[in-house]
Structure 1
């Protein structure tokens, strides 16, 4: 049933009820006629506005556009790209391990140790036990810079173990 058919059906129904009320109470015929006219005109207006709304193109108002949430981007966060770049470089040379990867990982590891009440400079054995040997070797405070800056970096599997160690300390 189309919208026009429904509108006509409601108007006919209102007319039948108006006729019944006029027959039942003939003294109220003027009032019934006014109510019937308002109902029929309201139905006609609703139908006309519905047609108009469907005919006009849908556009968001400037207000809606101003307060709409921005569309999510699928771009990678710059910080993630930076960390990935540092890890990739660290797998290449010892220089990148010491001067790129170490400054990223050290604050994380030290923060986790201090949260547990372990100062790595005062209690290095306990810090090494918590962090694991690979991670401790990277973040230990007395770690010297590499003599041969072009020496091989660390394998990606060692980086994965260090991440696992950080997560283990963080969540345990």
Structure 2
């Protein structure tokens, strides 16, 4: 069988960008069992309520739900088990310093296959307040209205 090339998205967590301000992103490998990989290839995963943390110098991810493989037997995995993430030691050390800051957390943004390997994109994030969310929504609406007006003007239509 030929080796896979390119990226194949599995799932993404769109809610994160609404609830958090993403300061930096990291790509990490994820340690999986055989039935987890088969289940991911069918696209059966959810990143809702997932987060990553440091424990004994290792990066781990909690709360990712990977559904049990339909054709699995007694070798099937637990859907919400804690999984180890794979990053270079220098990146983990850099993250350790940043995560000690108040209010910063690591949240998964997306899960995908890259050249056949399962990867997770992590975002170093700071939580947004309610008024920040309202400002973002108002700015997005204003930008949309400006784009509409520019489009109408370009087409020669009057207001």
Scaled by the length of structure 1, what TM-score is found?
0.20
Which one has more relative contact order, counting CA pairs under 8 Å at least 6 apart?
Answer: 2
Higher radius of gyration, 1 or 2? 1
Larger strand proportion of the pair? 2
Larger helix proportion of the pair? 1
Scaled by the length of structure 2, what TM-score is found?
0.22
